[in-house]
Chains A and B, each alone.
Chain A
Amino acid sequence: MSSPSPHFVSFEHVQKSYDGETLVVEDFDLAIERGEFLTLLGPSGSGKTTCLLMLAGFETPSAGQIRLDGKVLDNIPPHQRDIGLVFQNYALFPHMTVAENLAFPLKVRKLDKATIAQKVGDALAMVRLQGFEHRRPGQLSGGQQQRVAVARALIFDPKILLMDEPLSALDKNLRDQMQIEIRELHRTLGITVVYVTHDQSEAMTMSSRIVVFDEGTVQQVAVPSELYEKPQNAFVAQFVGENNCLQGTVERTQGKTCSVRLTSGENIEAENVDNNAKGKHVLVSLRPERVRLAANSADLKHCQNKVQGKLQEKIFLGDHMRARFFACDKEGFVVNLPNKEGIEHVKVAKEGQDMAIGWRTEDCRALGLPKPA
């Protein structure tokens, strides 16, 4: 038995297998602090929802243990865990009105009528749905249903709020608005939230910390900016945000940087993230907005890395300009340029024109390949 963890929630060597052959979650270790907004991000089938369900008590870990507020959860049935849960399809009870839905967790806790009425009123005010008490869930819009679902999960003052892809059924505008509302609620209530999503921009918008999952293992745990700026491996780099990925072999290492010979022949300098040794195959990741363009390479100042590319296509997107090049033997080498002074030469450039492409060493990261290709 390990000593009691000081963290609010802790997953300790948690494993889960449904069929006894393959692990859906492999050796999951995570500590969540009080008041955090933690997002589990990953593609579908990566094990993130399983982790959430194990915390809520609807799945049992095959190995390891989960603690909440100092207590081991293994033998506590889900209805005694005091965990609020919000589902993708809201799961509002269709035969009850909004007020009855909100009162449900209070009634099963045998609170007196006056307290229940008071709390239901407060909860409706919190999600700005006063006057909707007697509607049925079916008579509400998707966004309103989601607000009721959140209010219902919070009304009994749970220790922690879990949300399983709560916004995926909403259209984009409503989703953006709900993201702000949920963040606002988190800020005002100070409750700990564990949020599951496959949408990286949603994770970036809302979370104080993000856990990236793939194939049952944690790929990286970081605050949003770090996740974007400093992906730890190729999966994270590709999954979070847009990236140009260039394959190559490490030629030489010096301190924190290394020289990589790309498969197309160019030599570039990159940050050596995984301490890759000489001769190792790596994936160099480069954010499109960190790339600079010039008519010829002499104009690219401060850029240690310079390559030539042929402009394939340029798209004007208002706030920025997006150009696709054939460069480093790669179709669709993407460059994003903010729409401000200094990009006139790109605006007038013609498709098919050769241009110089450059970037700094610290903007590209050499990441170990997850599996040797």
Chain B
Amino acid sequence: MSSTTTFQLLTADGRALKAVLKKHKARRKRKAFLLVTPLLAFVIVGFCLPILDMLRRSTNNHIVEKTLPRTVLALKEWDAGGTTLPNEPAFASLAQDLVIAQHHRRATQLGQRLNYEFSGLASLFRRSGRHMEELVNEVRSTRGSYKETLIAFDARWGETDSWRVLKRFSDTLVADYYWAALDMRRDLRSNEVSLRPSKERIYLRLFGRTVVISLGITLATLLLGFPLALWIARLPSGQGNLLLVMVLLPFWTSLLVRTTSWIVLLQQQGVINDLLVAVGILSEEGRLRMIYNTTGTVIAMTHILLPFMVLPLYSVMKTISPSYMRAAVSLGAHPISAFWKVYFPSTVPGIGAGAIMVFILSIGYYITPELVGGRTGVFISNRIAYHISSSLNWGLAAALGVALLGFVIAIYWLYDKIVGIDNIRLG
């Protein structure tokens, strides 16, 4: 320490060497950063921002406050837990808000949003929005009560539940999409969250199925991939490389082509069934259902994801010296026991890498289950796609997506805890 303070090393032109080196290092760092800037920008725009937007959508609920600002204020004092209807000013505010909302064509939109939480509200808002201006004019001319006029127009305005929905969803930040994604329900009256009865649960069952099928696919790729990788790793490198290229070949074929070719093979009038019937193993009526169900999804996805298991296994096995097996055998172990006690443990990093890759890929898979999954072989991702493109419930889709993301991160964390992420080797 003292030597560095007493002697200061200088460069040839008399500057402090330490400062010069530091400056030089900083410049190198800036250059390195410039090299990755395009990719960084791409990742932020194409990956990070969409994820943040998804997180925002899954909890965002500005629509009630924006469309019905006066009603939200008027309902502040109203007790949603009670049995009485809101007072006259609340009805007046609603009427006023709906006239403006209809003018901006937002009443129907609001109704659709609230319909996710309480069915029937879509039509109530559509109808009320269309006629509200007449109703307001009527009240003004007769100096009547908004409350009575609205209830007379549509009896649903006289039900406390309709108002409870408005009150409960006047918050700008709600977790209800998540409750829905986890098959839970917030009671409008007590505001308590509870699990739906088991026969009404959709998403938990779908999550469960996704996980179970993904585990099955992972296991299938491992059982098929391990012997293959073992064989290729033991071949001389020329033949081994040729076989590896053949393993990689599916990567160069369109995913759609591979999936549809499985349809051709597996469908009831398909190649395999025709063959089995022709040979006489199956009768014409007894044709197997191998596609548009779980079986189809498992078969097609196992085929598609197999390379992701074989490649890490192969690259790990390639590094295991054959002398380990020889050593174990020379020490007196039977070849089979030498394999299990010495060779197999050395392949665990490859198994880990392959398994986690196949599992995480398959848990979010979309195209193949969509095409061959039928009713029983679809995944949670297909449901997310449905909410994005068909039901247009983007909030719920976002919540399901976040739940899936959370699950994958949890798996990753668990794997790190049990096996250690450093143990993963891709080669």
Contact = CB atoms under 8 A, between A and B. Distances in A.
Given A93-B342, A94-B346, A95-B345, A79 B335 contact: yes
Contacts, number: 68
Interface in A75-107: 77-85, 87-89, 91-95, 104-105
B337 A87 contact: no
Contacts of A87: 323, 326-327
Nearest to B327: A91
A103 to B, nearest CB: 10
Interface in B326-340: 326-335, 337-338
B5 interface: no
Nearest to A155: B331
A92 B321 CA distance: 11
A94 B324 CA distance: 9
Contacts of A58: 326, 329-330
A108 B327 contact: no
A109 interface: yes
- What bracket does the count of chain B residues touching chain A fall in? 20 to 34
A152 B331 contact: yes
A104 B346 contact: no
A153 B342 CA distance: 16
B331 A108 contact: yes
A85 B321 CA distance: 15
Contact of B330 (A84, A92, A93, A94): A84
Contacts of A235: none
B324 A79 contact: no
A79 B329 contact: yes
Contact of A156 (B327, B332, B346): B332
B332 A95 contact: no
B332 A108 contact: yes
Interface in A154-173: 156
Interface in B266-305: none
B323 A79 contact: no
Interface string B323-365: 1101111111111011001100110100000000000000000
A56 interface: yes
Contacts of A156: 331-332
Contacts of B335: 77, 79
Question: B interface, by DSSP: helix, strand, loop or mixed?
Answer: helix
A182 to B, nearest CB: 18
A79 B326 contact: no
B321 A89 contact: yes
A79 B324 CA distance: 13
B330 A108 contact: no
B303 to A, nearest CB: 32
Interface in B400-420: none
Contacts of B341: 104
Contact of A95 (B331, B333, B337, B346): B346
Contacts of B329: 58, 78-79
Nearest to B321: A89
A89 B345 CA distance: 19
Contact of A79 (B333, B345, B348): B333
Interface residues on A, range: 20 to 34
Contact of B327 (A57, A80, A82, A85): A85
B376 to A, nearest CB: 41
B323 A105 contact: no
Interface string A240-282: 0000000000000000000000000000000000000000000
A108 B327 CA distance: 13
A95 B344 CA distance: 10
Nearest to B344: A95
Identify the interface centre among B324, B331, B341, B348: most chain A CB within 10 Å of its CB.
B331
A131 to B, nearest CB: 23
Nearest to B320: A94
B335 to A, nearest CB: 7
Interface string A51-88: 00000111000000000000000000111111111011
Contacts of B330: 56-58, 78-79, 81, 83-85, 153
A90 to B, nearest CB: 8
Nearest to A81: B330
Nearest to B331: A105
Nearest to A149: B327
A104 B328 contact: yes
Given A93-B342, A94-B346, A104 B324 contact: no
Interface string B308-330: 00000000000001011011111
A104 B340 CA distance: 13
The listed residue with most A CB atoms (<10 A of its CB), out of B324, B332, B338, B345, is B332
B345 to A, nearest CB: 5
B332 A82 contact: yes
Contacts of A105: 331-333
B326 A108 contact: no
A81 B331 CA distance: 9
A280 B341 CA distance: 61
Given A91-B327, A94-B346, A95-B345, A79 B334 contact: yes
A91 B332 contact: no
B332 A109 contact: yes
Contact of B333 (A56, A57, A108, A152): A108
A91 B321 contact: yes
Contacts of A78: 326, 329-330
A85 B327 CA distance: 7
B328 A93 contact: yes
A89 B323 contact: yes
A153 B327 CA distance: 9
A296 B74 CA distance: 129
Contacts of B346: 93-95
A94 B328 CA distance: 12
A106 B297 CA distance: 48
Contact of B331 (A57, A77, A89, A104): A104
B332 A85 contact: no
Nearest to B335: A79
A108 B337 contact: yes
A155 B374 CA distance: 62
Contacts of B338: 79
Contacts of A80: 332
A337 to B, nearest CB: 45
Contacts of B328: 93, 104
29 contacts: A56-B326, A56-B330, A58-B330, A78-B329, A78-B330, A79-B333, A79-B335, A79-B338, A80-B332, A82-B332, A84-B330, A84-B331, A85-B330, A87-B323, A87-B327, A91-B321, A91-B323, A91-B324, A91-B327, A93-B342, A93-B345, A95-B348, A104-B331, A104-B333, A105-B331, A105-B332, A108-B332, A109-B332, A156-B331
List of 8 A-B pairs having minimum Cβ-Cβ separation, nearest first: A91-B327, A105-B331, A85-B330, A91-B323, A95-B345, A108-B333, A87-B323, A79-B329
Given A87-B323, A108-B334, A153-B331, 18 more contacts: A56-B326, A78-B330, A79-B330, A79-B332, A84-B330, A84-B331, A85-B327, A89-B321, A89-B323, A91-B326, A92-B327, A93-B346, A94-B346, A95-B348, A104-B328, A108-B331, A108-B333, A109-B332
